[in-house]
Every structure is written in structure tokens, then in C-alpha cells.
Amino acid sequence: MKVVQVEDGFGIDVVRCPLADYFHSLELSELCDGTSCELDFRTTELAGVKLARTETLSRGNDKCNFRYFHLNHGKDDKTSKIKGGKRDE
């Protein structure tokens, strides 16, 4: 795990995930992405935080790039300043 500087937010790059490893061993990486990885967005929203992520280990990337921002509740969305500032769908 590596902490990275992000304008108006907080970033973490995760380079190893036991869940992604487990689902990969079962040849079900897409299930990991559609369940566990998707849950990250829901839980951060409940905490009043916006998550932006464009890479995941379960999709074959070399890291999961978590980028966290405070929800602005109707103000300008600061997440548009990073590449893929919205959830990959």
C-alpha cells in the first residue's frame, strides 16, 4: 500500500488484495469486481466520502487506485480533476 498526493483529497494505491487473489484463483475475477470492489463505493458514500477509482487488481491492473474526496452536496465536484473522476462502469 502506498499513500499518494491528490489535489483536494486523499489517495492510496493498493498493490495486493487477498480478495482479488482468492477470486482470481477461482477464475472469478469479474465476480470480485462486481461485488467486493463495487461495495467500496457504497461504503464510502455512507461515510460522506466520494471514491474515484480507475484501476483494480481484479481487472488485471497492477494496483487499485483509491482516491477519496469529501462529498460536496451540490457544490462543484472536485473529482473531475483526476482521470476517470467517476466510478468506472
60 vs 75: CA distance, rounded Å: 34
> For 23-28, which contacts have Cβ atoms below 8 Å and span 24 or more sequence positions?
23/58, 24/58
DSSP 81: G
- Residue 66 pairs in a beta bridge with 12
Q: Confidence class of residue 88 from pLDDT cuts 50, 70 and 90?
A: very low
Question: What is the sign of the dihedral through the CA atoms of 15, 22, 45 and 60?
Answer: positive
How much is the pLDDT for 8?
87
Q: Confidence class of residue 11 from pLDDT cuts 50, 70 and 90?
A: very high
pLDDT of 49-81, one tens digit each?
999 999 999 999 999 999 999 886 544 554 444
pTM here?
A: 0.74
